[in-house]
Amino acid sequence: MLHRPIRNIQDFLLSTYFADGIRITIGVLCPSLIMAQFGMLQYGMTLSLGALCISVVDSPGPIVHRRNAMLITTVLLAIVSILVGLTNQSVIISGLLLVLCSFFFSMFFVYGVRAAAIGTAVLLIMVLSIDDIRPWKEVLFYTLLVFFGSIWYTLLSYLVYRLRPYRLLQQTLSESVQQISEFLRAKAKFYRENTDYEKNYAELLQLQVHVHEKQDEVRELLFKTRQIIRESTPESRFLLLVFVDTVDLFEQVMSTYYNYKELHLQFDSSGILRRYERLINQIADSLDNVAFALKSGGTPNIDKNLLRGVEKLKYKITVLEKNKNQQYNTLGLIALKNIEVNIENILGRVRTITGYFNKSEKKNLKNREIDVDRFVTKQNFDFKLFFENLTFSSSTFRHSLRVAIVMLIGFVVAKVLNFDHSYWILLTILVISKPGFSLTKQRNFERIIGTVVGAFIGMGILVYIHDKNTLFVILLICMIGSYSFQRKNYVVSVLFMTPYILVLFDFLGMGSLSIARERIYDTLIGSGIALLASYSLFPNWEHEKLKQAMIDVINANRNYFSQVTLLYFDKNSHTSTNYKVARKEVYVSTSNLASLFQRMFSEPKSKQLYIKELHQFTVLNHSLSSYIATLSLYNKEHDFFFENFEEFKPVSENTVYL
């Protein structure tokens, strides 16, 4: 395996994040560059503005969803551009329109993340146009340019997809495998001497969230893309098999839960636990190779040292089992043997996945029948859902109301201060305001740090570099960096964005150090307003969702256990599908609870209710899910089957009842 820093760089360059950065940079920059050649840079900038706004909704997902979202956004951008252009001569009407649009488009959160992005894109064009007063004929021409800029980016995005239709799925599946690899490494830490169990469990829960998120993204791409489902090509079969097996692999990894404290008390002196840690990390390295091969088109291999390591481990266990001095008890030795068997099973699954990459085997892979409709979440776009959420009991309604009020406050402050680019205050409020306090606080911190550091970098660039060609290269790097990191690491994205804006203003003949200072001031003002509002105006605290999240987890585990027990009595495909759906629901509910738990730490101490109890609950829930996973794997590995369900039924029903 390559040295990790080098591999990390290669992973990033082959990732969806960098691909997004390149695509958005081309989409935003090309109109301005082309129009500048004809002396019409101003028109090119407006075209680029339309492309920039539409790129907000072009997040990874099925191409049909992306295309529809971009087309809907294009129409909304045109409508709002006309409304703003015809009303912004009146401060009062502009303020009223801003409040109404802020509330209406923030309510799009009820329809999911992509719909929320549509709302953000529309508010973005509104904020950037609100101070741009022009005659009505120019307003129509401006709207037309925004419209064509949006269409240009939509066509570009669709063309990129058509050139490599499987690329996004390969990248997302690769990232999913990488998250499982990181989860394995976190598991390996439990075998380390003097390990911090609390810290390890916290890391494990957070990584479980990441694994679920990535697997959910793959499901969306895999099961909602008609070309993959209907047209059974060797590549689509290959990707489907890899995904299905990685989900099963993750279940196998989840099942490896033991009393690690007891293991350390008994076996630390023997050194065998260090062997376990080393082997698990080597398997994680093999998964990294699989992930890299998915993105790069290579063929992964299993390290022969890993196979030899398993044999040495088995021999070491045999030596300990002789136990001449009665130093180790029977239960401890059984646990060691079970862990070793589990490692072999995990390694076997990794070898199976690796085998799919063989070019000769790839052509002969058989498709698996999957009831895809049961594994994807369908979003309801009924207007009834919108009106049902127009109540204070809805967190989305409270968030939308808060955004509307805060945007109005920001608008008034901007008019009073009368800075040259006071719309930056509104822009900061727009990107920082999130439904929950913890997310707003996190985005606030990242925005301030990125802006301040980026401003100093930008000022340094403008002071010491005057060559236009060099500045253009820096502009290009900053654009790619900003757009590449906007989903991966927001603080880095903003850090690139600020120099990018300062250099851009310099190219437009508006560059000066005062712009950097103004951007810092506007960011601080907007951040302060957004953060104070999230705390004082109809706040959404995580503990309010705690009870329902815990109930969902318990119900999901109960159903998971019920479906696993049925595997011992009924071997038909319907039972297997029900079991897999139940397993998915456990991952979803556990991920939601773990995310809620993590967000609570960002809230004020007075709002961090039942933290200790919640931590104990999440750890116990993780243990329960692991034990149920072990039960399902035992059935698969031993092909266990009870013919008489009635004899076993009381045990199953009483366990579910408990």
Q: Crossing angle, helix 423-432 and helix 437-464, to 10 degrees?
A: 140
Give residue 417's pLDDT: 85
Q: Which alpha helices (DSSP H) does 465-572 contain, by range?
A: 468-485, 490-507, 513-536, 546-566
In terms of residues, how long is the chain? 658
Give residue 375's pLDDT: 54
- What tokens were used for 99? 């409040």
Residue 369 has pLDDT above 80, yes or no: no
Cα gap 354→276, rounded to integer Å: 22
pLDDT in tens, 203-250: 888 898 889 889 888 988 887 776 666 666 778 888 888 998 898 898
Answer yes or no: are the C-beta atoms of 413 and 425 closer than 8 Å: yes
Cα gap 635→255, rounded to integer Å: 13
Give residue 286's pLDDT: 93
- With cut-offs at 50, 70 and 90, classify the pLDDT of residue 491: very high
Measure Cα distances from 597 to 185, 223, 259, 464 in Å. Answer: 22, 30, 24, 47
Cα gap 164→655, rounded to integer Å: 50
Cα gap 140→83, rounded to integer Å: 10
Cα gap 543→609, rounded to integer Å: 6
Answer yes or no: are the C-beta atoms of 50 and 148 closer than 8 Å: yes
What percent of the chain lies above the pLDDT cut of 90? 36
Calculate mean pLDDT across residues 249-259.
79
Give residue 651's pLDDT: 56
Q: Which of 204-213, 389-398, 504-513 has the lowest mean pLDDT?
A: 504-513
Cα gap 208→202, rounded to integer Å: 10
Looking at per-residue pLDDT, the higher value among 202 and 158 belongs to 158
Task: Mark 339-377 as b/e (b = at least 16 C-beta within 10 Å).
Answer: bbebbebbbebbeebbebbeeeebeebeeeebeeeebee
- With cut-offs at 50, 70 and 90, classify the pLDDT of residue 511: low
Q: Is 194 left (phi over 0), alpha (psi -120 to 50) or beta?
A: left
Residue 535 has pLDDT above 60, yes or no: yes
Give residue 419's pLDDT: 76
Cα gap 41→508, rounded to integer Å: 9
Cα gap 402→603, rounded to integer Å: 18
The alpha carbon dihedral of 303, 306, 308, 311 has a sign of: negative
pLDDT in tens, 75-103: 999 999 999 999 988 899 999 999 999 99
Question: How is domain 165-363 classified at the CATH fold level?
Answer: Methane Monooxygenase Hydroxylase; Chain G, domain 1 (1.20.58)
Answer yes or no: are the C-beta atoms of 166 and 235 closer than 8 Å: yes
Answer yes or no: are the C-beta atoms of 60 and 128 closer than 8 Å: no
Terminal-to-terminal C-alpha distance of the chain: 48
- With cut-offs at 50, 70 and 90, classify the pLDDT of residue 200: confident
What percent of the chain lies above the pLDDT cut of 70? 89
Residue 143 has pLDDT above 60, yes or no: yes
- What tokens were used for 460? 């340094």
Residue 642 has pLDDT above 60, yes or no: no
23 three-state secondary structure? helix
Give residue 283's pLDDT: 94
Residue 183 has pLDDT above 80, yes or no: yes
pLDDT in tens, 624-635: 888 888 777 776
